[in-house]
């Protein structure tokens, strides 16, 4: 059975509760990042190994033990399916917290870009996701914590589960599901705004924000 969790930030604390809003984790964010986490400004995900395009994996040291203060058993694997074009420095905020809460759990990151939403076919995405299968085979046999963000993460998580089912002949063993800003309303305007937010603040950004809407409105008048 899949347990649905709700994650929020409250006054510098990370709060994760189950669907009945019973608190399961409550830990100050201010203390996170003091346990020899990756601190490189150039690459905040430097502890992760690239398995392929948009796929990163972190394996804790073998000496890492589970935090005895956390009464729930640690996930066998944590999967983060990030929002569209998420930057490493933003993803690292979540990986750092998960490494503090579950220090012995491996973490798999599945990123996505605009191309995954508007250009690449499902079959092409599934071929790219095959690179994650060895990790799922070795560490996904227990209970996986799947944290997906927005529609981009939901789409990639769906493709990952589909790829696993096709290649392995069985469903992905997800024990906990965190829906973070997902599912979003799949309208053209919301998708366009989310896409524009990922663009560099250059000429194209100015065009999308200021010029294109004016031109479109002028054409409708």
Confidence of residue 99 (pLDDT cuts 50, 70, 90): very high
| Span 113-122, average pLDDT | 75
Q: Can you read off the two tokens belonging to residue 181?
A: 């800003």
Which three-class secondary structure state does DSSP give residue 149?
A: strand
CB 2 within 8 A of CB 146: no
pLDDT the model gives residue 11? 42
Confidence of residue 201 (pLDDT cuts 50, 70, 90): low
| Span 111-121, average pLDDT | 78
Confidence of residue 111 (pLDDT cuts 50, 70, 90): very high
pLDDT higher than threshold 50 for residue 123: yes
Residue 128: C-alpha distances to residues 87, 120, 124 (Å): 20, 10, 7
Give the CATH number of domain 47-184; options: 3.40.50, 1.10.10, 3.40.5, 3.30.70.
3.40.50
Give CA angle at 117 (115, 123), nearest 5°: 85
**Enclosing H/E stretch for 123:** helix 122-129
pLDDT the model gives residue 191? 58
Q: Which residue has the higher pLDDT, 132 or 12?
A: 132
**Rounded Cα distance, 101 and 161, in Å:** 25
pLDDT the model gives residue 41? 54
* Pairing outcome for strands 77-84 and 144-149: parallel
- Give one DSSP letter per residue of 75-106, joined into a string: PSEEEEEEEET--HHHHHHHHHHHHHHSTTS-
CB 72 within 8 A of CB 23: no
Per domain, the residue ranges of the chain are 47-184
**Rounded Cα distance, 77 and 3, in Å:** 15
pLDDT higher than threshold 50 for residue 12: no
| Span 15-24, average pLDDT | 41
- Give one DSSP letter per residue of 14-62, joined into a string: EEEEETT--EEEEEEGGGTT-SS----SS-TTTTSEEEETTEEEE---T
Q: Which residue has the higher pLDDT, 168 or 68?
A: 168
Average pLDDT, the chain: 75
Is the whole model's pTM more than 0.85, yes or no? no
pLDDT digits (tens, 9 = 90+) for 36-50: 444 445 789 999 999
pLDDT the model gives residue 9? 46
| Span 180-185, average pLDDT | 78
């Amino acid at each position: 059975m899949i347990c649905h969790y709700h994650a929020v930030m409250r006054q510098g604390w990370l709060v994760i509760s189950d669907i009945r809003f019973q608190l399961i984790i409550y830990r100050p964010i201010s203390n996170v990042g003091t346990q020899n986490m990756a601190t490189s400004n150039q690459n905040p995900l430097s502890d992760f190994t690239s398995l392929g395009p948009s796929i990163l994996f972190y394996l804790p040291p073998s000496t890492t033990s589970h935090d005895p203060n956390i009464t729930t058993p640690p996930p066998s694997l944590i999967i983060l399916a990030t929002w569209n074009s998420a930057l490493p420095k933003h993803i690292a905020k979540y990986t750092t917290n998960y490494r503090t809460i579950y220090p012995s759990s491996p973490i798999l990151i599945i990123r996505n870009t605009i191309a995954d939403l508007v250009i690449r076919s499902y079959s092409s995405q599934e071929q790219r996701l095959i690179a994650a299968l060895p990790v799922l085979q070795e560490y996904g046999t227990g209970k996986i914590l799947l944290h997906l963000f927005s529609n981009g993460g939901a789409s990639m998580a769906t493709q990952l589960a589909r790829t696993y089912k096709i290649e392995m002949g069985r469903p992905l063993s997800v024990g906990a599901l965190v829906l973070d800003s997902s599912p979003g309303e799949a309208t053209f305007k919301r998708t366009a705004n989310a896409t524009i937010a990922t663009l560099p603040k250059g000429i194209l950004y100015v065009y999308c924000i200021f010029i294109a809407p004016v031109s479109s409105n002028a054409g409708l008048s």
